[in-house]
Structure 1
Amino acid sequence: MKLQVAGKASKWVVYQKMIFVFILFFLPLISMNIWLNYKGMSITRQTILNSAVAGADFYSKQLDNELYLIRKLQLQLLNDDNLQKLSFRGKTLENYEEVEFINRVIDRLSTLTESSEYVVNAGVYVEAVGKTISTKNDVTVTPNPEMELIKSLIPITPKPSFYRIGERIFFIEVGNYGGIWSYIEISKPKLLNALREITNLYPESNVFLGNQESGVVLTTAKKDEDSAEILNLTSEPNVKDSNGSVIRKLHDISYFIIRDEVRSMHLSLIMYVNQNEITRPLVHFSSWFYSLFFMAVIVMVLYSISVHLMIHRPLSKLVKAFHMLEADNLNIIIESKSNDEFHYVFNGFNNMAHKLKKSIEEIYEQKIALQHSQFKQLQSQINPHFLYNCFFNIHVMCLVGETDGAATLSQKLGSYYKYITRSGSDEVPFYKEYRHALDYCEIQCIRFSNRIAYEFQEISDIPQFISVPRLIIQPIVENAFEHAFEDGTTEGIVYISTYYHEGRLQVTIEDNGNMLTDEHVEQLRKKLTMDSKHIEKTGLINVNNRLQLKYASGSGLFVSRSPYGGLRVDLVIILDKEA
């Protein structure tokens, strides 16, 4: 049965994926809840602010209408018939007529005073009769303090909408080319009380009247400096929004500022409220909202911790065990204290590791036995063939009287067979294996009557402690003699060299034969890379398999075309790690 796992490889572990999916589904709910709460709070807050704006607007318009009515009555007073007759006829009037006109003017002034609680005193100065008439001081001959006070204010230019001297506020109008002065004194305490009625909307609020030219005229604040700073904030360009309100910070406190115009006095009525006072009803709601939000975060954290303990930690333990298994550590056992699905998985892993260890031990023993049998097979294959040829050469040399050559060949042949047929360990010091290959070259040169030679490199730079399997160099040299010079080439040369660096040993065998083609090189290279089960276990293939079985990855035989024209074989042994 074949199990398939769908999907692409991912760098994320299962724990991260589970937490990510949970957050992915949970965040939209939290986000929507946050959005709805903030939207509702924003609408509620805006409604409260609009209510404050409407309240301030109502009181400011009420005050403006009241003062506008006073200004209107004052202008009507200037056109009063009795006042006009008194001004034009002046000293031509009889005493009786003058008193009658003055009484009528006094009645008119009394009506004006009673029309509004803001009016403290209403009066006129008539130049023609040299008298002032007021509800406060009745009829007074000029010059008098009241007339002198008004006289000091009239020359002010440009003409203001109201006059202020000390703590007193006046509306002054002049008619008949300066022959009549009409003046109305506005009660500052009454105005202040009106402003305080507006502050009743919110306890932590203040209201003042003022503008940039006159400054703060009247304020409910304990410190006039605060009102002056608020006035400067509202006078900055581009600070007002569409409903005449702004939010500005003063002394680290955010104020909601409402500005309305009192056109009758050319002043601005400005109300500023601590923003926290307006939004105080929302604070309790916000506290609950943030509490729920933090509870949601805590739920996410607890869920992450529970997933970590129940799933991620056992999985990490299992993954760690597999990594150790990949590192050839087969003695690992995973302990399980729970009785869940992971307990079954851990027991299965432990059984698998035990069986795998047992199988590897059996396979290793089989490979060692196979390697030994292959070595013995190679010995049996090499010995008869080479021995027959050498005996034939000795026979020929004896017949032609070359006793010295026959003696040398017999001595080399004896040394050669003593090396390959000796019992004991299959490994020998490298220098002995190298010397044996050179003996073989010497034998071949004698056999081919010196028409073939060899050149070799001394091995003084190779450590003496290095041991190698027997008969790994000689088969390569034999291949060069048998196949490179089979066409009877004269002056054939075999080149043998060695190289060692940081645990990497390389022996290179080259020849100058001319029979090798690129196709033959490619065929031999493919044979060396093929599965050893499907090819013959002799010659170069056998040597290559033995090297790959014993030494680390990268060891073996590698073939290419030699710069001398023939075949080049590189025997590579990586000594860093045993196979």
Structure 2
Amino acid sequence: MKISSLKRLISPRVSIQGKIFVAFSLVTLLGIVAVTSIVYLYMRETIKNNAITSVTDSIRQADESLNLRLEEIGRLNTVVVTNQTVINTLLSAAEEPSYEWFEEQKRIEEFLSAVIAYKPYISRVAVIGLSGKVFFVGSPWLDQNVIKTPMMNYLLQNGSGHAYYHLTGSVDSIVTGREIRYNRSGIGIVMFDLSDEFIKKTYDVKPTPDSMLYVVDENNEFIYQPKTSAIDKGTIMKLSRELAGSGASVERIIDQKPYLLISRKSEYTGWSTLALVPMKSLLNETVRIRNVLVEVAIIVFIIIVIGTLQVSSRITRNIRRLRSMMKHVMEGNLTLPSVEIQSKDEIGQLYQAFKRMVEELNRLLAGIRTTEREKHEAELAVLQAQIRPHFLYNTLNTVKYLAKLNGVPNIVEVSESLIELMRGVLGNSNEFLSLQDELQYVRSYVNIEKYKYVEPIHLNIEIDNEELLRCHVLKLMLQPIVENAIIHGIASSEHEGVVSIRIYEEINELRIEVKDNGKGMSKEQTEALFEAKKGQTGTRFSGMGIRNVHERIVRLFGEPYGVSLYSELDAYTKVQIRFPLLPGTDRMQQGE
């Protein structure tokens, strides 16, 4: 690794402490925001639901309170319409201003006063005869003109049971009426006026100061409405019809303002109650709670940030120490400071590994210095020994020259072959060479060996294609095999020895077969030949036998390349070499 890369690794733009701090801060911020938002939304929904529950309960209680009063008035209606004095008075022929009429008026008013005694929610009770007689107790004033009013017509049409009419004017009230019958014929009406103050007090439901509540009867007339309404009557009637007293609570935008709408319908009167609560006023409390939550969240975040800064500093303290040590080593100082990292966590393990690495680096540097010194000494020795191969070549040339002078051709041939063979072995440092050169080494080796034996040795080389001679093979790949054939096969036989080499191409491979007519080998001898240890295969020239050649080929090119051996006792031995076909290109560096 380059020094610049190491510097970037040791001194990153953002430190681990900074990353830990930022990561913890972001996670904390997201957590606080999430929790605060959830709490705020939950409390907002809770306040909204509480308002709905409160308004719904208040409306229900108001309806129940009104229903109790109306039921009580219904019972009073029954008392009046069944009273014989009332019936006799309405059937009487006495006319105003007679004495009898005054007596009748006194009796009925006393009766009506007794009926509504201690009932402040009833502002007036009246008995109106169809003949024109009108008797009442309470206010406002009532006279014969009431008979021709729409209210009277409505009560007569619907007064067989109970009828309710909203009377407006100088004094608003709810009029309940019931028809008075005699012999199945209507003779008059009894009316009870429910006090408008009682209705206002009953429906004064205000969860917020600007809330509005409306009560609408079945004729789309207001029974109750606030004194000041920010919404027109048409909109209220439309909303009342849409909700139809379903008891639902919905949010609507009215005049560009959000409202919470709560509706309920009375089963007794059939009146629909509609409450409108402005969301802004309803959620004023949630705004205050939200502000408090934000303040608390900010304080908590600041505390956590400070704590995170301290914790990240403590966590990365050993990392900073290790970085300082690495810088120290990077500057070329391979002695670590005396202060060690004692933690047992990953940083401590990393420090121990770094410490061992520095120790190993010191050891390697010492070894390199020793190797360099030895290399320098070896180079001096090589320089001193350079003259030796040249001296050997010159000596052999001298022997060859003397043999020629004395007419000894055998010595000349042996000297030439030895010179050629040694030039190839000592003078060529490449691992690969052409097949033609390798065959020349084999010829030189056989020329030397044939003078050692009584019987002659013949070398036959058969090549299917001359182009194969240009292919590159491993140096000294054939010589050990030919040497093995001569020494172990032909040398011990009693007839002329023949070594045949056949070279051919098959399946894009270079195939070389070396066959001798020696005594052959058994299966055990063949296996022993391949299992022999390196340097102990019986070769006398190069120190490499058949097994060495096989391992060199397999190591470079893998299976199925290598050496195969076939033999038969007292017949022959054949060695086959499978080698990749490497034609036309210099492959001298393949083994590097």
| TM-score, normalised relative to structure 2 | 0.57
Q: Matches of 1:410 and 1:50 in 2, distance apart?
A: 123
C-alpha displacement at 1:362, in angstroms? 4.7
Q: Matches of 2:264 and 2:511 in 1, distance apart?
A: 106
Q: Which of these residues, 175, 179, 187, is aligned with residue 174 of structure 1? A: 179
Q: Which of these residues, 277, 281, 287, is aligned with residue 273 of structure 1? A: 277
Whether contact under 8 Å (1:509, 1:569) holds in the other structure is yes
Q: Which runs of 5+ in 2 are unaligned?
A: 1-15, 342-346, 383-399, 451-456, 491-497, 535-541, 566-575
What amino acid maps onto 1:131 in structure 2? K
Q: Matches of 1:47 and 1:539 in 2, distance apart?
A: 100
C-alpha displacement at 1:358, in angstroms? 0.6
Q: Matches of 1:523 and 1:160 in 2, distance apart?
A: 129
Pick which of 78-87 and 115-124 moved more: 115-124
Shift in CA distance, 562/370, structure 1 to aligned 2, threshold 3 Å? farther
| 1:449 correspondence with 2:473 | no
Q: Which of these residues, 417, 421, 427, is aligned with residue 426 of structure 2? A: 421
Whether contact under 8 Å (1:332, 1:350) holds in the other structure is no
Q: Matches of 2:411 and 2:133 in 1, distance apart?
A: 169
| 1:102 correspondence with 2:110 | no
Q: Could you give the per-residue CA deviations for residues 184-241 of structure 1, whole angstroms, max 9, x where no partner exists? A: 455557634543x322x5324222223787476433343146655764675586x65x
Q: Which of these residues, 73, 77, 81, is aligned with residue 78 of structure 1? A: 81
| 1:131 correspondence with 2:133 | yes
What amino acid maps onto 1:148 in structure 2? T
Q: State the number of aligned residues.
A: 491
What amino acid maps onto 1:417 in structure 2? M
2:165 maps to 163
SS at the partner of 1:163?
strand
SS at the partner of 1:476?
coil
C-alpha displacement at 1:558, in angstroms? 3.6
Q: Which of these residues, 216, 222, 226, is aligned with residue 230 of structure 2? A: 222
2:211 maps to 205
What amino acid maps onto 1:173 in structure 2? R
Q: Matches of 1:519 and 1:180 in 2, distance apart?
A: 145
Q: Matches of 2:355 and 2:321 in 1, distance apart?
A: 14
Shift in CA distance, 123/181, structure 1 to aligned 2, threshold 3 Å? same
2:199 maps to 191
Pick which of 555-564 and 285-294 moved more: 555-564
What amino acid maps onto 1:191 in structure 2? I
1:304-343 matches, within 5 Å, as 311=315, 315=319, 341=341
Q: Matches of 1:179 and 1:458 in 2, distance apart?
A: 142
Q: Matches of 2:334 and 2:178 in 1, distance apart?
A: 105
What amino acid maps onto 1:101 in structure 2? E
Whether contact under 8 Å (1:121, 1:134) holds in the other structure is yes
SS at the partner of 2:269?
coil
Q: Matches of 2:202 and 2:357 in 1, distance apart?
A: 90
What amino acid maps onto 2:426 in structure 1? T
1:24-103 matches, within 5 Å, as 55=58, 57-90=60-93, 95-103=98-106
SS at the partner of 1:358?
helix
SS at the partner of 2:230?
coil
Identity within the alignment, %: 12
C-alpha displacement at 1:71, in angstroms? 3.7
Q: Which of these residues, 544, 569, 575, is aligned with residue 539 of structure 1? A: 544
Q: Could you give the per-residue CA deviations for residues 259-306 of structure 1, whole angstroms, max 9, x where no partner exists? A: 666555332444443466556556545544454445555555566566
Q: Matches of 1:65 and 1:544 in 2, distance apart?
A: 116
Q: Could you give the per-residue CA deviations for residues 150-187 of structure 1, whole angstroms, max 9, x where no partner exists? A: 34324469988523477765323223132222334555
Q: Matches of 1:230 and 1:574 in 2, distance apart?
A: 99
Q: Matches of 2:315 and 2:581 in 1, distance apart?
A: 51
1:481 maps to 482
What amino acid maps onto 1:449 in structure 2? H
Shift in CA distance, 567/51, structure 1 to aligned 2, threshold 3 Å? same
SS at the partner of 1:265?
coil
1:150 maps to 151
2:362 maps to 355
C-alpha displacement at 1:568, in angstroms? 3.5
Whether contact under 8 Å (1:70, 1:116) holds in the other structure is no
Which of the pair has the greater relative contact order for Cα pairs under 8 Å at 6+ separation?
2
Q: Matches of 1:93 and 1:309 in 2, distance apart?
A: 108
| TM-score, normalised relative to structure 1 | 0.58
Q: Matches of 1:230 and 1:562 in 2, distance apart?
A: 99
1:179-578 matches, within 5 Å, as 179-186=187-194, 191-192=199-200, 194-195=202-203, 197-199=204-206, 201-210=207-216, 214=220, 217-220=223-226, 221-223=229-231, 224=233, 227-228=236-237, 231=240, 235=244, 246=249, 248=251, 250=253, 262-274=266-278, 277=281, 280-281=284-285, 284-285=288-289, 287-293=291-297, 295-296=299-300, 311=315, 315=319, 341=341, 345=351, 348=355, 351-352=358-359, 354-355=361-362, 357-359=364-366, 361-362=368-369, 413-422=418-427, 427-428=429-430, 436-443=437-444, 449-453=458-462, 473-482=474-483, 491-494=500-503, 511=513, 539=544, 556=556, 558=558, 560=560, 566-568=576-578
Structure ID, larger Rg:
2
Shift in CA distance, 178/511, structure 1 to aligned 2, threshold 3 Å? farther
Q: Matches of 1:444 and 1:84 in 2, distance apart?
A: 160
SS at the partner of 1:73?
helix
Pick which of 110-119 and 474-483 moved more: 110-119
SS at the partner of 2:108?
helix
Whether contact under 8 Å (2:550, 2:563) holds in the other structure is no
Q: Matches of 1:355 and 1:456 in 2, distance apart?
A: 57
What amino acid maps onto 2:75 in structure 1? K
What amino acid maps onto 2:224 in structure 1? L
Whether contact under 8 Å (1:431, 1:459) holds in the other structure is no
Q: Matches of 1:434 and 1:158 in 2, distance apart?
A: 133
C-alpha displacement at 1:85, in angstroms? 1.0
Shift in CA distance, 35/110, structure 1 to aligned 2, threshold 3 Å? same
Q: Matches of 1:120 and 1:526 in 2, distance apart?
A: 133
1:532 maps to none
SS at the partner of 1:449?
strand
Q: Could you give the per-residue CA deviations for residues 421-455 of structure 1, whole angstroms, max 9, x where no partner exists? A: 23xxx855x77576643432454687763445467
